[in-house]
Amino acid sequence: MPLKGIKENDSMRVVIQENYEKMCKWAADYIVSRINAHKDESRPFVLGLPTGSSPIGVYKELVRMNKAGEVSFENVMTFNMDEYLGLPREHEQSYWYFMHDNLFNHLTDMKPENINILNGMAEDPDAECARYEEKIASYGGIDLFLGGIGVDGHIAFNEPFTSLSSRTGVRNLTSDTRIVNARFFDNDPEKVPSQALSVGVATVTDSKEVIILINGHNKARALAATVEGGVSGKWTCSALQLHNAAIIACDEAACGELTVDTYKYFLDIERKERL
């Protein structure tokens, strides 16, 4: 069945931008166009959101556009992808703190009751995850999930070999991910929580549209696996190949491991898209 107002893609879209700033601008403009297209609906626009360094430029641009009156968040409901297990909201490295610091505190009309973030201090983490998945479903699912990607291709905290049909649940973090994220924890991997609550791969791929931000040389292997590799639990990002409205927004630096043919194909097809 065609998705209302959403163009299904014959192939995954890979939108290659010259640099990080342009990638973020492209993604923010796309998100704003989707929110604005939805504004006369009674149901809120349901937006899935990530943390990490990749989305920071997108959040800055969304804040700028919101303050300039180009987009309202009054009828937007958000669901974040993940949260560290055992970190309270007020911890500076909690994803609750990150989202308020980088986005929600700066929007003029975001309703606090429309913000959903998994509770890393829940007494029963499994029940918290089940409640989250049910709440997403009760709003008719996610309209647009914005995501980032780990160097090992994880989306949300779905590390390699997490089932591609997984739902929101507790995840063990790999040593690699704890080493990468140690930069936020005094460069000490041991200080990075070893577990997190995370939406599942299928929670992401069930959303009507997905945009994954992939930027920088260190994400080049992950981009190649997402676009050119086979669908495999080794690279959970590869599940996006089965989605009918998935967009990879990337910068030139992340394209280093794509074959020249793939790179040219997406530049060519996207140029036609704009005509």
Q: Which residues are known to be catalytic?
A: 82, 152, 154, 159
- Shortest Cβ 201–ligand GLP spacing (Å): 12
Least spacing, CB of residue 220 vs ligand GLP, in Å: 13
Those residues whose C-beta lies under 8 Å from the C-beta of residue 107, and which sit 6 or more positions away, are: 62, 63, 66, 73
End-to-end, the C-alpha distance of the chain in Å comes to 26
| Among positions 26, 96, 104, 157, the unique one binding ligand GLP when judged by CB under 6 A | 157
Select from 19-27, 143-151, 186-194, 201-209 the region that touches ligand GLP (CB under 6 A): 143-151
Q: x/- string (CB under 6 A) for ligand GLP, residues 80-109?
A: -xx---------------------------
Interface residue with ligand GLP, options 48, 120, 150, 200 (CB under 6 A): 150
Question: Which candidate, 81, 80, 103, 98, places its Cα nearest to that of 28?
Answer: 103
Tell whether residue 156 is a contact of ligand GLP (CB under 6 A). Answer: yes
Rule CB under 6 A: choose which of 26, 28, 45, 50 binds ligand GLP.
50
Work out whether 53 is an interface residue with ligand GLP (CB under 6 A): yes
Sheet strands side by side (includes 169-172): 82-84, 195-198, 169-172
Q: How far apart are CA 17 and CA 86, in angstroms?
A: 37
Q: Print the binding letters for residues 202-241 with ligand GLP: x by CB under 6 A, - otherwise.
A: ----------------------------------------
Residue 168 CB contacts under 8 Å (≥ 6 apart), including other chains: 118, 129, 130, 132, 133, 136, 197, 198, 199, 200, 203
Q: Which of 54, 166, 226, 238 forms a contact with ligand GLP (CB under 6 A)? A: 54
Lay out the sheet containing 115-116: strands in order across: 13-17, 246-251, 209-214, 144-147, 45-49, 76-80, 115-116
Residues lying near ligand GLP in the complex (CB under 6 A): 50-54, 81-82, 148-150, 156-157, 177
